A = this chain, B = another copy of it.
């Protein structure tokens, strides 16, 4: 099963459009660029697919049967899980009002049809590039250094070896010190949305990390999740 964490792995894109041709051609080009692509033929399907796959980017046609793109955007943005998701409108409607409304709904960009597939791909790349600017390969918090590239944890000069899942879990928590990560969030980021694991799995990994680091840096927030703090 190919589902790694989505911090350094293949980005998932969901395209929603009622014209099969458009869907087809965009899908083809984005796949060629190495993205994992899902499609939806209308608004409701878009919402379902979004929930199912937790895409990194959603491309929405404005005019679709049922819920239109702006509705979909509004609905998704209301849910915490899609607060940060990239959303781009792609529409034949090029009037100023719609475009402004689209952007103010919380979309990241508004593209007008017809659009060259290559340009679309470039725009998509640009969006992801900006998003990844933040992710650093080496994170340092106090005396703790997390090197994503080398897969190494270093505390006060001494290396600590963590297994992959342990490492990724710690790296995730440490990526935003203080922030409480919900168990769901952790599952999605570390295990991916496809995999389903039991309830105690996270706890066991947390325990191993605490044990290996021998450092009180992961706090339990009961009923909510875990957070990293030095």
From A83, A126, A180, residue with most partner B Cβ within 10 Å: A126
Among the stretches A47-55, A201-209, A216-224, the one at the interface with B is A216-224
Q: Digitize A69-98: 1 where CB-to-B-CB distance is under 8 Å, 0 elsewhere.
A: 000000000000001101000000000100
| A2: chain B residues within 8 A (beta carbon) | 134
Interface flags for A111-154 (1: CB within 8 Å of B; 0: not) read: 00000101100110110011001101000000000000111100
Contact B223 A83 (CB under 8 A): no
What 7 A-B pairs come out closest when comparing CB atoms? A164-B223, A103-B122, A151-B180, A150-B178, A100-B122, A103-B126, A149-B179
Residues of A within 8 A of B (CB): 2, 83-84, 86, 96, 99-100, 103-104, 106-110, 116, 118-119, 122-123, 125-126, 129-130, 133-134, 136, 149-152, 163-164, 178-180, 221-224, 227
List the B side residues contacting A108 at CB < 8 Å: 126, 130
Whether the Cβ atoms of A151 and B96 lie closer than 8 Å is no
Tell me the bound Cα distance from A133 to B107 in angstroms.
12
* B84, B96, B118, B123: the one within 8 Å of A118 (CB): B96
Q: Can you name the residue of chain B whose Cβ is closest to the Cβ of A180?
A: B151
